[in-house]
Chain A
Amino acid sequence: MTIDQTSLDLKVGLEIHQQLATKSKLFCNCSCEEAQKYDQSFVRKLRPTHSELGAYDPAAMFEFSKMRTVEYHTAFRSSCLVEADEEPPHDVSPEALETALIFSLALHSNVMDEIHVMRKLVIDGSNTTGFQRTMLVASGGHLEVAGKKVGVQSICLEEDAAKLMGEERGIRKFGLDRLGVPLVEVALAPISGKPDEIMQVALTLGRLLRASKRVARGLGSIRQDVNVSVQNGAVVEIKGVQRLDLLVKVIEHEIRRQHGLIVIAEKLKESKVDVSKIGDKIEDVTDILSKAQSKVAKKIVDNGGLFRALRIPGFAGMIGFEPYPDIRIGKELGKLVRFYNLEGVFHSDELPNYGITEIEIAAIKSRLQVGESDAFVIVGGPKDNVGFASDAIIRRLQAGINGVPAETRAATPEGKTVFLRPRPGAARMYPETDIPTISVTESMFKAAEDKVPRSWDEIVDSLAKKYGLNKKLASQIFDSDYLGVFEEIAGKTKVQPTFVASKLIEDITSLQRTGLDPSLLLDDMIKDVFVRLDAGKIAKESVITIFGKVMKNEAKTVDEAIVAAGVFSVSDEELGRGLDRIINGNIAVVKEKGIGALSTLMGRAMAEYRGKVDGQKISAILKDKLQNLVK
């Protein structure tokens, strides 16, 4: 089955979260730098807060149901009592607020008259408070992409969450260094178009933000969320697309998945399934499965868990039905129960399998009184988790008749999406009363207006002109993580800017393609290498060798890399003596060929000095020496 994308009415809303490069965090004076190691830790328990309506936010309840204790790790300069939720937040960082205003003006957005800091409940432990502080700075506006206007919905300034370090036996561990780093969230209006056009939009927005020179660079400093919906579908929010090339894959996967679910829904409607009957009969089947040869079942029963079977009337063949390869409701259920830390979920369309045989199936069918047209689902694990998961399975299957359920999904590194949590409601926002509201004054406006960055094209043109780069290299340098260090080197040294740029773009990229890690190569090391080159202490050829040693983690400093690569610097005297030695060793050739011996001598000399001395320099000296000899 192929999809006619134009008939699907694909709508994609992009939401970009960009870390800012401010001196301090959004609500305290701590540094935004990443901690190299953590000094202290403490544990907390979060609990959902109770709303007036007697309702808990579904996402919050969902998280609470699976989490007990959170362990936080802190480092000296990057966290204080504010991150530990032991001191009220300070005033909003003026630098961060100004940056948000600059972006708002650059995107022609309407800045709010008075900004209110809100608390958005997030009790997965990633915020010590149990909420994320966020404020709406502007709404409306547009971004120009290839002559077309893409609408802006909102621009918010918010605090980044703590960094998840891992989870062990139900205890989540977070590092507090990232908590409170300012983020600007730009939400674009849903647009129709092909996935690659949408990528162009993301690229343009990213460039506009970077043009301000006020944003953090490097992996994880910009994160894209996408909302994808197809005709007759619901909005699905996909979190954590870290790279732009993944965006296209994720959208394409989501189109297939959502359209597939719509096809399934149509089939369910055709067969007149009554969704209110889903789970009308639920039985404990632990005794049946404890006798099965299934490893999964055995593990669950041995750990004191139970199995519950749910009757799904009218669903025979529907749970395993695949309109597209790998797209089926059964798979969605598998991901859904993982949320409750469960792995044991089986449905009738995939059995017998996994060590569950006809014998157990017959016993379950008879206990549940499953008819020909009915399906069943079995879920196993600890009692409480199974209870929550059974409810979630019933709700998910009921939603099946409407096609695509509104939910939050996560992007996988392969460009697929998996269920993350239900979509949170507006119920999870309430005012942050610790921080006074901010009136946006004329003087704040004026200051921001003067700092609105030029367009990407203008900046790239001026980069090209200033440093004598071609436009392609200029745009590559601008889009890379190395713009800052490039400008510094170009300003500080006499090394040709084109050479510097090509090393930073082409060499690092080619090393990265061989699997080396560019994050090991710090800006200070890059600067150091070019300063040494400028001083004639290393040769041009050594630059890539040194980068390679560092990126391979064979050296932690430039000095170490030079030793490891054997590219010691050679003084002019030493070089002169060495070249004399080579000439004397090949004096027969010199006598025979005269000046023509240069290429032979050059070969010998380069064998000895490659990477240590610039080839052109050797050639010049050799030539000089030969001419003196043969005169």
Chain B
Amino acid sequence: MAHDSGGYKGVGAKLLSKHDVSVGDSVTVSTEDGEMFGVLMPRYESASEDYIVIKLTSGYNTGIHTGKIKSMTKLPKRELPSVANPHEFAENKNLPKVALISTGGTIASKIDYRTGGVHSALSASELYQSVPELASHASIDPEVLLSEYSENLKPEHWTMIAEKISEKVNFAKYRGIVVSHGTDTMHYTAAALSFALQGLPIPVVLVGAQRSSDRPSSDAALNLLGATVFAAKAEYAGVFVAMHAGTSDDMIACHVATRVRKNHTSRRDAFESIDIGPVALVRNNSIEMQKSEITLAKRSGRNFVAKPKFDDRVVLLKYHPGFDPMMITHAAKTHRAIILEGTGLGHVSKECFPALKEAVGAGVMVCMTSQCIWGRVRMTVYNTGRDLLDIGVVPLSDMISETATVKAMWTLANSNDAKKSMQENLANEISASIPL
């Protein structure tokens, strides 16, 4: 019988194989200090090879050094009691249908208490069990598209997601679409979908969780609920990101997808709209639209066009004192566009000018955003800015650098005049005016 290695390597794996013990087996382990009884648990790949881990009957896990182990005895498997589900939900077919596309992260998950593993729970009934309130707002149609940590997602995945959404939109059955996503690069995907899905007739809402859903304090349930309510009930169409508005579990903020940024490593309210406020709040399962500079598109049967291609030969360079202009020269060799994250109103040092001239001369599109995050670049105020404009650097107004990077990848694949497209407001990525 093949052994489930359960992450064990080297000495540990040999010992387990010798005693014919696999993860999940009940074992008695004899050591110099006495006997221990428990269930063999999996081992994290990166942890030391010299220990095996058992879950004691008290529920505690403990690591035993292989050098101390005299013998291991496998015990007969005990039948685990099966318990009826406490909640059974009858799906209400009259509720608006919402498609839920999962791309990774565990928006709903369950714990295997024997091994401590966390698995995603994505059948409709499992979702309703995790978040029972969902059942009173929408009839959810879940589908797993990808299972990736968001840092592993690439432009080709954006294409996949855009195509899947496009398929669902064309099916014309759904009031809205929710996309669950790991939070690290959710704002990049959100921006990508904003450019790729033009004239969307329904809302597409990206949602994630800053605390994984295997914890009782997870923000996943409330975020998912807020995203679903917005997808099912909002009067507006387009791409949005729905996450906690504050640290409290009382309000979900819906952001315009090209204007949102992850601004904190761990807080629930890490996602913030830049230069504008969130366009809507969801509180007590009802939508409160906010005053906004942005005019959102209404739901309609507009001419929906999917342009899901991206050219990934774009690089985002952050300027800093001591920045080596050779970085620009190197980047220009293999990329079609360079997005600069300059200082202040949109500057890089004059030492960079020759490299920039060379890049622009070679046909590379060079655009300027600001590392200040908030505010607009204005390159006519100082000499440096004016010189950069003369060289041919394209100012990108108040577009945030992440959105600019994604947009460049999209324009290079979809536009005949990339420079012009970069400066046009295609998906609310540029504000005409920034409120005080």
List residues of A whose CB falls within 8 A of some B CB. 42-56, 60-61, 69, 81, 84-88, 110, 112-116, 118-121, 123, 128-131, 134-136, 140, 154, 156, 426-431, 436-437, 439
Partner of B83 from A48, A53, A87 at Cβ < 8 Å: A53
- Measured between beta carbons, the chain A residues less than 8 angstroms from B47 are 436-437
Interface centre among A51, A69, A113, A115 (most CB of B within 10 A): A113
User: Which 5 residue pairs of A and B lie closest in terms of their CB atoms, listed nearest first?
Assistant: A130-B216, A114-B63, A429-B59, A426-B59, A55-B83
- Quick one: which of A61, A112, A427 contacts B113, CB cutoff 8 A? A427
A43, B113: Cβ atoms closer than 8 Å: no
**A48→B221 CA distance, assembly (Å):** 11
Instruction: Known contacts A49-B110, A87-B266; decide if A118 and B64 are in contact (CB<8 Å).
Output: no
Closest Cβ neighbor of A153 among chain B residues: B58
Residue of A nearest to B46 (CB): A436
Q: Chain B 44-73 against A: per-residue CB contact (8 Å), 1 yes, 0 no?
A: 000110010101111111111100100000
Known contacts A53-B83, A87-B265, then 13 further A-B pairs from the complex at CB < 8 Å, ordered by chain A residue:
A45-B249, A49-B110, A52-B111, A52-B114, A53-B82, A54-B82, A55-B83, A60-B216, A131-B215, A426-B113, A429-B59, A430-B116, A437-B63
Known contacts A86-B247, A115-B63, A429 near B215 by CB under 8 Å: no
Known contacts A86-B247, A120-B59, A429-B113: A54-B84 contact under CB 8 Å = yes
User: Mind listing 11 A-B residue pairs with CB under 8 Å?
Assistant: A43-B250, A49-B111, A51-B111, A53-B82, A81-B266, A87-B267, A121-B216, A123-B216, A130-B216, A437-B63, A439-B51
Judged by a CB distance under 8 angstroms, whether B80 is at the interface is yes
Q: Which of B203-218 contact A (CB under 8 A)?
A: 211, 213-218
Given known contacts A113-B65, A114-B65, A431-B61, A129 and B250 CB-to-CB distance under 8 angstroms: no
Inter-chain residue pair count (beta carbon < 8 A): 149
Which residues of A are found within 8 Å of B222, using beta-carbon distances? 45
> With A and B bound together, what is the CA distance between A52 and B126 in angstroms?
11
Chain A nearest Cβ from B129, distance in angstroms = 6
CA distance A31 to B216 in the complex (A): 26
**Interface 1/0s, chain B 240-273, versus A by CB < 8 A?**
0000001111100000000000000111100000
Question: Is B417 an interface residue, CB under 8 A from the partner?
Answer: no
Cross-chain contact A431 with B116 (CB below 8 angstroms):
yes
A431: nearest chain-B partner, CB-CB: B116
Chain A residues closer than 8 Å to B86, beta-carbon distance: 56, 61
State in angstroms the CA–CA spacing of A208 and B91 once bound together: 60
Contact residues in A for B33 (Cβ distance below 8 Å): 110, 140
Contact A426-B61, Cβ < 8 Å, known A51-B113, A110-B33, A129-B216: no
Give Cα A115 to B214, complex, Å.
Answer: 22
Whether A136 pairs with B214 at a CB distance below 8 angstroms is no
A50 touches B216 (CB 8 A): no
A49 touches B60 (CB 8 A): no
Residue pair A85, B58 in contact (C-beta under 8 Å): no
Chain B residues proximal to chain A, CB less than 8 Å: 33-34, 41, 47-48, 51, 53, 55-65, 68, 80-86, 109-114, 116, 119, 121, 126, 129-130, 211, 213-218, 221-222, 246-250, 265-268
Contact B217–A52 (Cβ < 8 Å)? no
* A70 to chain B: closest residue by CB: B249
A76 → chain B, closest Cβ, in Å?
16
CA gap between A86 and B58 in the complex, in Å:
29
Nearest CB of chain A from residue B318's CB, rounded to whole Å = 25
Bound-state CA distance A510–B26 (Å) is 58
Q: A115 to B64: give the CA distance in the assembly, Å.
A: 9
Min Cβ gap B320→A in Å is 27
Residues on B with C-beta less than 8 A from A430 are 111, 113, 116, 214
Question: B80 — which chain A residues lie within 8 A by C-beta?
Answer: 53
Residue in B53, B62, B81 whose Cβ sees the most chain A Cβ within 10 Å: B62
CA–CA, A110 and B214, complex, Å: 32
Give the Cβ gap from B89 to chain A, nearest Cβ, in Å: 13
Q: Which of A43, A116, A123 contacts B62 (CB 8 A)?
A: A116
Find the residue from B85, B215, B222, B267 having the highest chain A CB count within 10 A.
B215
Partner of B64, one of A50, A61, A114, A131: A114
Question: Do the beta carbons of B248 and A42 come within 8 Å of each other?
Answer: yes
Q: How many angstroms between the C-alpha atoms of A368 and B41 in the bound complex? A: 52
Task: Name the residue on B nearest A71 (C-beta).
Answer: B248
Q: What residues on B are CB-neighbors of A156 within 8 Å?
A: 60
Chain A neighbourhood of B247, CB < 8 A: 42, 84, 86
Beta-carbon nearest neighbor of B112 in chain A: A52
B residues near A55, Cβ cutoff 8 Å = 81, 83
Q: Are A53 and B63 in contact (CB under 8 A)?
A: no
User: Quick one: which of B57, B58, B109 has the most chain A CB within 10 A?
Assistant: B58
Chain A nearest Cβ from B50, distance in angstroms: 8
CB pair A43 B65 closer than 8 Å: no
With CB as the reference atom, state the residue of chain B lying closest to A128: B217
- Write out the residue numbers on chain B whose beta carbons fall within 8 Å of the beta carbon of A51: 110-113
Given that A42-B248, A88-B266, A115-B63 are known contacts, is A49 also in contact with B83, CB under 8 Å in the complex?
no
Is the beta-carbon distance between B63 and A52 smaller than 8 angstroms? no
Docked CA distance A558–B246 (Å) = 45
The answer for the CA separation of A430 and B59 in the assembled complex, in Å, is 8
Assess whether B59 is in contact with A129, with CB atoms less than 8 Å apart: no
Question: Hey, which chain B residues are within 8 Å of A86, CB to CB?
Answer: 247, 266-268
Cβ of B248 and Cβ of A43 under 8 Å apart?
Answer: yes
Output the least CB separation between B295 and chain A (Å): 34
Could you tell me if B63 and A112 are in contact, using CB atoms closer than 8 angstroms?
A: yes
Q: Can you name the residue of chain A whose Cβ is closest to the Cβ of B222?
A: A45
How many Å lie between the Cα of A114 and that of B53 in the bound state?
9
B202 to chain A, nearest CB (A): 29
Contacts of B53 in A (CB 8 A): 114, 116
Residues of A within 8 A of B63 (CB): 112-116, 437, 439
Nearest B residue to A121, CB-CB: B216
User: Which residues from chain A contact B114 at a C-beta distance below 8 Å?
Assistant: 52
| CB-based contact A44/B249 at 8 Å | yes
Q: How far is the CA of A131 from the CA of B111 in the complex (A)?
A: 14
User: Could you tell me if B110 and A50 are in contact, using CB atoms closer than 8 angstroms?
Assistant: yes
Please, how many angstroms separate the alpha-carbon atoms of A427 and B62 in the complex? Answer: 16
A50 in contact with B121 (CB, 8 Å): yes
B60–A43 touching, CB < 8 Å: no
Taking A44-B248, A84-B247 as contacts, is the C-beta distance between A130 and B48 under 8 angstroms?
Answer: no
Complex contacts, B121 vs chain A, CB 8 Å:
50
Nearest chain B residue, comparing its CB with the CB of A69: B249
Contact indicator A53/B61 (Cβ below 8 Å): no
When C-beta atoms are compared, the residue in chain B nearest to A109 turns out to be B33
Residues of A within 8 A of B268 (CB): 86
B contact residues around A439 at 8 Å (CB): 48, 51, 63
CB <8 Å contact, A136 and B216: no
- Complex Cα distance, B82 from A131, in Å, reads 24
Chain A residues contacting B60 (CB-CB under 8 Å) are 116, 118, 134-136, 154, 156, 429
Are A426 and B216 in contact, with the CB atoms below 8 A?
no
B113 touching A131 by the CB < 8 A rule?
no
With a CB–CB cut-off of 8 A, which chain B residues contact A112? 62-63
Q: Would you call A46 and B113 a contact (CB within 8 A)?
A: no
Smallest CB separation, B108 vs chain A (Å)? 8
- Residues A130 and B217 in contact in the complex (CB < 8 Å), given A61-B86, A116-B53, A116-B61: yes
**Is there contact, CB below 8 Å, between A426 and B57?**
yes
In chain A, what residue has the closest Cβ to B85?
A: A54
A90 to B53, CA, bound (A): 22
